[in-house]
Amino acid sequence: MTTTPPEPMSKRALILEAGVREFQAKGFAAASMDQVSARAGVSKRTVYKHFESKENLFLSIVETLSARLTDTLDITFVPGEPVRAQLRALAMAEGRILTSPDTMAMSRMLISETLRDPALAQAGQGKLGKTTVFADMLRAADADGQLRVPDPQAAAEEFVALIKAKAFWPVIFGADIVSPEEMERIAETSVDIILSHYAVRHD
C-alpha cells in the first residue's frame, strides 16, 4: 500500500510560519526580514513579493490566525436540540484551537508582542476576539427557552474564560499543550458550570 505524500507548503505559508518563529524569538523590533527569508528557505525578494513590509507580515499572521479561529468556531445553535450537546460542541471547537501546536505558537507570539509593542499589537487584537460566537449561541439558547441568560456577552466571556484558564494561559506561559483527553474534561467542566448558572429552573 502506498501513501500519498503531503502537499508541499506554499511559499506564502512558509514565510508566515517563519515569521511566527522570528517574531517569537526576537520580538517585532529586532526581527529581521533577512532572517525570515532564511528560516523560510526563500529569497528576500520572494518575502517582499508576498509581504511588502515587516508590519504587513505581522498583521498577515494576525489575519491568518483570525481566519483559522473563525472557520473552527463556525457553529450555530439549532433550536429544539439539547443545549448541553451544543455547548459542548462549541467548547470542543475552541479546544481544537487550543490543542493545535501551530495555532498556539502564533498565539504565544502575539501575546509576547503585545507586551513588547502594544501599539502594533493593538492593530490586530480586535480580529482575534471570538466571544461573539459564544454569545450568539447563548442568546439563541435563551430564545429557545433552554437557558436564561440576561447578558449573553458577559456569559460568553465567562464561558471562554473557563476554558482558557486551563487550556490557554498556562500554555502561553510555558506549560505543555493539553492532551485531547484533558481538553474533553475541561470542556465538560466548563459546560457544567455554565449550565449550573444559566439553566432554566423548573420548580
CATH class of 10-52: mainly alpha
147: helix, strand or coil: strand
How confident is the model at residue 201, as a pLDDT?
76
**How far, rounded to the nearest angstrom, does the alpha carbon of residue 130 sit from its chain's CA centroid?**
8
CB 124 within 8 A of CB 60: no
Distance in angstroms (rounded) separating the CA atoms of residues 14 and 22: 12
Domain boundaries, the chain: 10-52, 60-198
- What CA–CA distance (Å, rounded) separates 17 from 142? 41
* Fold: same for 10-52 and 60-198: no
pLDDT number for residue 1: 44
- Tens digit of each residue's pLDDT (9 = 90 or more) over 50-97: 999 998 998 888 888 788 878 888 899 999 999 999 999 999 999 998
Instruction: Answer with the residue of higher pLDDT: 8 or 160.
Output: 160
- Residue 186 pLDDT grade (very low, low, confident, very high; cuts 50, 70, 90): very high
User: Rg of the chain's alpha carbons, rounded to an integer?
Assistant: 20
Residues comprising the chain, all counted: 203
* pLDDT band per the 50, 70, 90 thresholds, residue 153: very high
Q: How far is CA 199 from the centre of its chain?
A: 27
CA atoms of 36 and 65, how far apart (whole Å): 18
Tell me which CATH code domain 60-198 carries: 1.10.357.10
Residues 28, 120 contacting (CB under 8 angstroms):
yes
Q: Is 0.95 surpassed by the pTM of this model? A: no
Residues 6+ apart with CB under 8 A from 88: 187, 188, 191
